Structure 1
Amino acid sequence: MTNETPDWIRLQKALAVEAEHGFTDLMGRQYRFSEFLSLTLGKFPIGLPTTERRRWQELALQFAKYSHLGLEDRQHLVAETRRYLYQLQQDSGKPPENNGVAEAQQRNYQSKKQQPTTPIVAEVSRRLAPKIDQKLSDLPEIGIRKADNLARLGVYTVRDLLYYYPRDHIDYARQVNIRELQAGETVTIVATVKRCNCFNSPKNQKLSILELILKDNTGQIKVSRFSAGARFTSRAWQESLKRRYPVGSVIAACGLVKASKYGLTLDNPELEVLGNPGDTIDSLTIGRVVPIYALTEGIAANMVRQAVIAALPAAANLKDPLPSGLRDKYGLIELKDAIANIHFPPDSASLQVARRRLVFDEFFYLQLSLLQRQHQAKQIQTSAILAPKGQLLEKFYEIIPFKLTGAQQRVINDILNDLQKPAPMNRLVQGDVGSGKTVVAVVAILAAIQSGYQAALMAPTEVLAEQHYRKLVSWFNLLHLPVELLTGSTKTVKRRQIHAQLETGELPLLVGTHALIQDPVNFRQLGLAVIDEQHRFGVQQRARLQQKGEQPHVLTMTATPIPRTLALTIHGDMDVSQIDELPPGRQKIQTTMLTGQQRSHAYDLMRREIAQGRQIYVVLPLVEESEKLDLRSAVDEHQKLQESVFPEFQVGLLHGRMTSAEKDEAITKFRENKTQILVSTTVVEVGVDVPNATVMLIENAERFGLSQLHQLRGRVGRGAAQSYCLLMSSSRSPDAQQRLKVMEQSQDGFFISEMDMRFRGPGEVLGTRQSGVPDFTLASLVEDEEVLILARQAAEKVIEIDATLERWYLMKEELKYRYERLMGGAILT
């Protein structure tokens, strides 16, 4: 072809024949298909716009490598080239050749030409790109009525729409022959209509069925489309549908391949009539990777897709906040390309690259915000400087009857180093059940007290606060230091006494629950706040305890190991230490999953253990939505065990509806072995420490998360005797069985928490009430750990160079937009 008007027919016909014969790089009379395309595209035709010359050359180079491409890449290249050439032909003003196409099909082409330009050919669109902050109602393709509908999705401007990412994609870009269909795949086929019928369902007269027999040169397939509603059952409508898909017409159909009694079929497929087997498929769904958006009632999928198409040219004008050096270092594409390809990617590979960039952005700006806040906190120089050595600490090390583990000593060193600095400590200590976190906290508390300051320890429940108080009293008595307990059950006279002693400074340590953050509680000089099981407190509750002093050091603890990705996400502004070593002599707890038929085995074990002087926990699930039901079952279980199963033993009862005095009595009786079996709800999850208990029987274990099961299991195995955890479950669900097997196989809380997050998601791992867990649009803490780590590293580098972000104005503005305007900072803990 010389430099003259392009021979559209020869090019399109070559592409069509190649597609029809399975992308085999056909041999022509003189050249192979790839050679013909490469040579033809190797010269610029007269009239080709300068802006298109680079694209033309790129296609020539791609077809030169065609013989080395895989089948899927060949399909995408041919399909993309066909669409590109078709659009160029339209823009040149020349009508497409009829070439025997029926008048009805010709009108179909012309009507499609009037539709908004599809994103794949947006680069050649002559339409002016809208402004990024333009209202959607101002776009002629959308208008006021559609804009009002889109507003129900929280989408108001062009920018909102560009960042309204699809929740999923379906890949219809893969075009196959009928004989290549396999159940479970999503594909596109191009075939001829052999038979067309439209009729009412014999079982439902309000359901209309379009039935097509489609055939290509490899086989045939029967497909059906269903339309529910009275208007679709009229003969006039059904006849018009049959005229739309006449016998002999060529159709592109896409959908999920499913097995039926007639063989393989496409499940309720999308259909488009073509002129010839090689014609361009101009649908928003057929033959491409289709975006699936979150919708609401009254908003159709195609309305959102068409709106995105109208807004998408604006993406080309987006200024990328990430510097090119940072993008190159982490292998990220430009923002404008990522936005375009997350909505309408040409293929799956482009989608993955786009998603990776946008996931990186979600993580990066979160980490940037967390690290920026951490940096700002460390600029404060008004906190107490606490002495890491002194008589109190030396005496404490002498009175404890055990040697600290290496992990405990390492974490203590981290804490004492922090306490010597004028910047407030903000450290999280993670430790598995029984790893010795309390001892570590006491060292920090004593460092504050010997430096002349007060300390507070806040726990989420009275049971846990009481447990801490008992342990601390036993140590503090030997150190001749007073310590008090303040909870909702504390008597008024005692409460006033505690308040007075705090204000005078006579009371160096106060242990308690939420009662610590009430207004009458005023410390004379609070130097350290310790928060246990911190994820059970809200952001404001933790902040109110800190406000009881002048920038006190803060030590938070959790016995619920948090997966690395989740810790980075919700505690990214904190320093984190892990006690990853258990004290010597702790035996592995033998964990077994049992069915209802094996209950007698559990009871036999319980009898044997009680005969040896041991004690038993029996735990029932508590679900908030049906608390009364589960409470009744706990009472019923207690009655059954006491009267029918173990009448010779004393069976106690503990649940959240009991008063504090009743709880204390139940726990005291169990601690003193006056009751051998304690039937309880999850109140015993943390805080109840009875070394003599050796069996934990958990009913309906499948209803608990893995982390919670691990916490419950940690109530036994606290003494020298062999302990057992029995997971009673009647569920036959494969998922439930798989989860419980994790408990059988592992005692590692960090591994269990990782698995728990994979099974249930991050929000459920920490509890549904937990604030501060981000709701990412694209990113997954389970699947995208590698990208999160890279984003954290990138954010650390940026903060290290310029924490104010003044040298990266666009980055600073993007951070402000994301976490002040969009989320109001709500995702930050």
Structure 2
Amino acid sequence: MSGEGRKSPDWARIERALSVEREYGYKNLKGNQYRFHEFLCLSFGGIPPVLNLMIAFKWQKVAKDFAEYPRLTLQEKKDLIDYVENFIDEVKEKQKEEAQRKETIKEDNIIPFPSKVETVTVTPKVKETVEKITLNSPVINLKCVNNRQNKLLEKLGIYRVRDVLFYYPREHIDYGNKIAIKDLEVGETVTVIGKVKKCSCFSSPKNKKLTILSLVIRDKTGDLKISRFFAGNYFSSRGWQEKMKRSYPMGALIAASGLVKGNKYGITLDNPEFEVLDSAGDNINSLKIGRLLPVYSLTEGVAADLIRKAVVECLPTLSEIDDPLPVNLKRQYSLVELQRAIAHIHYPDNQKQLTDARRRLIFDEFFYLQLGFLERKKQDKQNRQASPFIPQGKLIEEFNKLLPFQLTDAQQRVINEIEADLESSSPMNRLVQGDVGSGKTIVAVFAILAALQSGYQAALMAPTEVLAEQHYRKIVQWFNLLHLPVELLTGSTKTAKRREIHSQLQSGELPLLIGTHALIQDPVKFRNLGLVVIDEQHRFGVQQRARLLAKGKAPHVLTMTATPIPRTLALTLHGDLDVSQIDELPPGRQPIQTTVLAGKQRTQAYELIKREVAQGRQAYVIFPMIEESEKLDVKAAVVEHQKFSEKIFPDFNVGLLHGRMSSDEKEAALTAFRDNQTQIIVSTTVIEVGVDVPNATVMLIENAERFGLSQLHQLRGRVGRGSHKSFCLLISGSKSPDGVQRLKVLEQSQDGFFISEMDLRLRGPGEVLGSRQSGLPDFALASLVEDQEVLVLARDAAEKILLQDKYLQDGSSLKNELARRYKKLIGAEMLT
């Protein structure tokens, strides 16, 4: 396309209008024919005077913004006029650059830069009709997409033009670093410009279906040989190869981009991209070369260039996208416009544009998630009306008198938060986080007693029988002193006992039931369930928790976890919960001496265990597996137990505990260890939580590199519970310095919150939480490791928006976008 239809505007007249409007206080003055905003709309309503995609996008946006000018605030009017004046300077500069270009650019076999806005409306030969591309157009309407490619794009979730625009690159390769040949360094991604000294295109002698295009280019500083490889019969034809030679003749100026690599012949670019230039100062006019190149996640059969070309064709429809975020919110949090962010996430001109675009789009992902959480929390409080707890007795007062120790300030603070919740008609939904040994159980008991003295029943559910039994043993001691009945219900409970429990629950004789998922079975019916306590709640599925809650009428819910979660994870997983932290350990807890050992130092660990056991103490030895695996070189508990019993510790009783044992076998093994009948227990992570043996002073963990830091910290918490000095020995089978360094975090800190934060940074949220029940939203760009600051800002913004009902009224653009985004992130509809 020539310059036809691209008449340059009367810049002097436009700039004079902007100046006069500013001088007279942004009154939207009326001229001879038009008001100020009408004149600007007309001026920017046609085809932009330069062939540049970003200019075209901004051009359309300016026209659209001035249509809204009469409704803008004074500050918004000032900002718009400042923006347009800068934009005019940008367009003028592009006009100068375009005027310097020659009429034709040699572009054989080169993908054109997405600046040619006219390509959007050119009808491809394979399409019989011209359809205007809109946001809702099917991708098959794009000129670059055929039927086969359309089916493949559907695998990526791309059905319409909107999906293309919101299919963000996973990264960018920076080809904008232009460098002289002599300065090339291996590992850098660069663009070099030089003249063709030699060009050859031929079939590989070893593989006739492989064609090699080889160029030697030269700049003032040296020569560089670069090659590209093409597989297939089409490229092996003599005609195609001769065409390539003609495309890159001797003396032609070439821009080439790629990763610098070294080989036995010297330095080269790995599978580079080429473009022929007209002159040394010429613009590099390509989707790939000399710029930040978007890299997309692909599926088999979908080429990277297909996505890039589809994005180019779809970008002009950005003018149809409304930005739902209020203007004042965008200003407060320094966010660029949504349309600009989407354009720049795909094709930024520089790193700043990319950074600003990523920040806006990441903010949106976090913002709509947090707003969805807060809206759900608000609706839950409106829909579920709980009965406030009104004390009818003095159980809490009596319990306080019985306690042989003083509560920590952190425990008392959390208890106060819980009591305030229980006195409200809105049902409590609170998560209590606490480090190993911080005293979460005692906090839960205060909540349970508040329910009981108000005439309600309570249930405490734990994920394993070991943990449920541990809670039962501890609580039954206290409840006996208060003359309160309490029962334990697990999969191992005998039928007769089970029927007795069911009967007492229904009659109201049994105020507290502790158990595993057996609590959610149909025969379990409470007379008046007012409080549900769920320990290690992340180990239960959503449906399991819901079934327990359904056994009462809007019961209050208290969930607990002994795995401290960094704030960013807590916001992302539990944004609809109130979160309390017990961030203080009871006095008297001794620090545990933690040491990372190599496999060859295992004998030292065994000697320490022998010394401790000889003094009457006990030890845990933990393995990551139950039985040996041919695929994994890790020690197995069953095999090692036999070795420990017969060869390493023949003078001591060595017990065995793992998840495949029956409930009776587990209980027998734990009872023997608690009673010091076995001095050493070989186990898997089944003892990670809930086992309390104050006499145990050594925790030896084999193949420690196979565990997460938070899990290792949990295991370490099984010792250090008595008055004797305790030890945690981490034996690593890893030869990786990074793996050993990761374990040394445990040598440096006993703070579970710090350790979980380090675990998050080192392994990522999926590994920290476990992939099966992580519940992580499906973010396109956001990282809980790298974008924590933006998440906190987004939560703050969501809280402010929730206080302003006008933004979330039915039919509002923000309400509609929230519903769409929440479903995409969570995989579920917004509650209504």
TM bucket normalised to smaller = 0.7 to 0.9
What does residue 43 of structure 1 align with? none
SS of alignment partner, residue 659 of structure 2: coil
> Is 1:761 the counterpart of 2:770 in the alignment?
no
Which residue number in structure 1 is paired with residue 244 of structure 2? 241
Q: What is the aligned partner in structure 2 of residue 304 from structure 1? A: 307
CA spacing shift, 1:216–1:547, aligned 2, 3 Å: same
Are 1:593 and 1:726, in contact at CA under 8 Å, matched by a contact in 2?
Answer: yes
The one-letter amino acid of 1:489's match is S
Deviation at residue 749 of structure 1 after TM alignment: 0.3
**1:649 alignment counterpart:** 652
Matched, 1:446 2:449: yes
Q: Is the Cα–Cα contact under 8 Å of residues 144 and 306 in structure 2 kept in the other structure?
A: no
CA distance in 1, matches of 2:547, 2:528: 15
Structure 2 equivalent of residue 725 of structure 1: 728
Cα shift at 1:540: 1.0
Match of 1:173, SS?
Answer: coil
8 A contact 1:321–1:808 mirrored in 2? no
Q: One-letter code of the match for 2:374?
A: L
Q: 2:355 is matched with which residue: 348, 352, 356?
A: 352
Q: Is it true that 1:137 corresponds to 2:127 in the alignment?
A: no
Aligned residues: 752
| Residue 343 (1) aligns with residue 346 (2) | yes
Is 1:751 equivalent to 2:771 in the alignment? Answer: no
- Once the two structures are superposed, the pairs formed by residues 507-656 of structure 1 within 5 Å of their partners are 507-622=510-625, 633-656=636-659
Taking the aligned partners of 1:189 and 1:307, their CA distance within structure 2 comes to: 28
Aligned residue number for residue 41 of structure 1: none
SS in 1 for 2:245: helix
Deviation sequence 1:780-820 (CA, Å, 0-9, x none): 01110111011000000011122870188110010111223
Cα drift, residue 565 of structure 1: 0.3
Match in the other structure for 1:397: 400
CA distance in 2, matches of 1:122, 1:149: 26
Taking the aligned partners of 1:457 and 1:325, their CA distance within structure 2 comes to: 46
Q: Which secondary structure state, in structure 1, belongs to the residue aligned with residue 554 of structure 2?
A: coil
163-172 or 805-814, which deviates more = 805-814
Contact 1:195 1:213 in 2 (8 A): yes
Counterpart CA distance in 2 for 1:80 and 1:223 is 36
Aligned residues of 1:453 and 1:508 also touching (Cα < 8 A): yes
Kindly tell me: are residues 84 and 280 of structure 1, through their superposed partners in 2, closer, same or farther at Cα, counting changes over 3 Å?
farther
How is 1:18-33 mapped onto 2 (pairs within 5 angstroms)?
A: none
SS of corresponding position for 2:636: helix
Which amino acid counterpart does residue 587 of structure 2 have in structure 1?
Answer: P
The answer on 1:421 being equivalent to 2:424 is yes
1:372–1:803 CA contact under 8 A, matched in 2? no
Aligned residue type for 1:334 = E
Which position in structure 1 is the counterpart of 2:464? 461
Name the residue aligned to 1:314.
Answer: 317
Contact 2:624 2:636 in 1 (8 A): no
Tell me, what secondary structure is at the counterpart of 1:379? helix
Shift of 1:78: 14
Q: Percent identity?
A: 62
The 1:639–1:827 alpha-carbon spacing in structure 2 relative to 1, beyond 3 Å, is farther
**TM-superposed deviation, 1:48:** 12
CA distance in 2, matches of 1:326, 1:366: 17
Cα-to-partner distance string for 1:255-309 (whole Å, 9 max, x where unaligned): 0122333433211111122233333322210111111111111111111111111
Q: In structure 2, what is the Cα distance between the partners aligned to 1:176 and 1:743?
A: 45
Superposition deviation, residue 224 in structure 1: 2.1
Report Cα offsets for 1:513-552 as digits up to 9, x if no partner: 0000111111000000000001111111111111110000
Q: Distance in 1 between matches of 2:825 and 2:645?
A: 56
| Aligned equivalents of 1:627, 1:690: Cα separation in 2 | 34
Distance 1:585 1:251, change over 3 A: same
Checking the alignment, whether the CA contact within 8 Å between 1:621 and 1:630 is kept in structure 2 is no
Alignment pair present for 1:162 and 2:181: no
1:190 match: secondary structure: strand
Question: Structure 1 residues 80 and 564, CA, compared in 2 at 3 Å: closer, same or farther?
Answer: farther
CA contact (8 A) 1:707 1:753 kept: yes
The CA deviation at 1:184 is: 2.1
**Equivalences for 1:89-488 in 2 at 5 Å?**
96-97=102-103, 108=107, 118-120=113-115, 122=117, 130-201=133-204, 207-229=210-232, 232-233=235-236, 237-380=240-383, 382-387=385-390, 390-488=393-491
After TM superposition, the structure 1 stretch with the greater mean CA deviation from structure 2, 363-372 or 212-221, is 212-221
Q: Tell whether the 8 Å contact from 1:433 to 1:711 is kept in structure 2 after alignment.
A: yes
State the shift of 1:147 in Å: 2.4
Classify the secondary structure of the residue corresponding to 2:420: helix
Which whole-Å CA distance do the structure 1 matches of 2:445 and 2:256 have between them?
70
Paired letter, 1:692: N
- TM-superposed deviation, 1:623: 8.8
8 Å CA contact retained: 1:653, 1:678: yes
Aligned to 2:783: 780
Aligned counterparts of 1:504 and 1:211: Cα–Cα separation in 2: 87
Is 1:539–1:771's contact at 8 Å kept on the other side of the alignment?
A: no
Q: Is the 8 A contact 2:176 2:190 kept in 1?
A: yes
Task: Write out per-residue CA displacement over residues 1-36 of structure 1, whole angstroms, 9 at most, x where no aligned residue.
Answer: xxxx99x9xxxxxxxxxxxxxxxxxxxxxxxxxxxx
User: Considering only aligned residues, what root-mean-square deviation do their CA atoms show, in Å?
Assistant: 3.2
Q: CA separation of 1:709/1:822 partners in 2, compared to 1, >3 Å: closer, same or farther?
A: closer
Cα drift, residue 421 of structure 1: 0.6
Verify the 8 A CA contact 2:628 2:635 in the aligned structure 1.
no
* AA of the residue aligned to 1:436: G
Question: TM-score by structure 2 length?
Answer: 0.85
Supply the distance in 1 between the matched residues of 2:302 and 2:51 (Cα, whole angstroms).
36
Asked if 1:505 corresponds to 2:508, the answer is: yes
Letter in 1 for 2:138: K
Deviations 1:650-671 (A, max 9, x none): 0000001100000000000000
- Once the two structures are TM-superposed, the CA of residue 764 in structure 1 deviates from its matched residue by 1.7
Distance 1:84 1:137 in 2: 34
Match of 1:699 in 2: 702
- Structure 2 CA distance for partners of 1:357 and 1:618, relative to 1, 3 Å: same
Change (3 A) 1:370 1:523: same
Question: Aligned pair 1:496/2:462, yes or no?
Answer: no
Instruction: Flag structure 2 segments of 5+ consecutive residues without an equivalent.
Output: 9-42, 56-87, 123-130
CA distance in 2, matches of 1:49, 1:161: 26
Q: Give the match's secondary structure for 2:372.
A: helix
| TM-score normalized with structure 1 length | 0.85
Name stretches of at least 5 consecutive residues in structure 1 with no aligned partner. 9-46, 60-76, 91-95, 99-104
Q: Residues 486 and 516 of structure 1 are in contact (CA less than 8 Å); yes or no, is this contact kept in structure 2? A: yes
The Cα of 1:444 is off from its aligned counterpart by: 0.3
Q: Residue 803 of structure 2: SS of its match in structure 1? A: helix
**Is contact 1:699-1:727 (8 Å) kept?**
yes
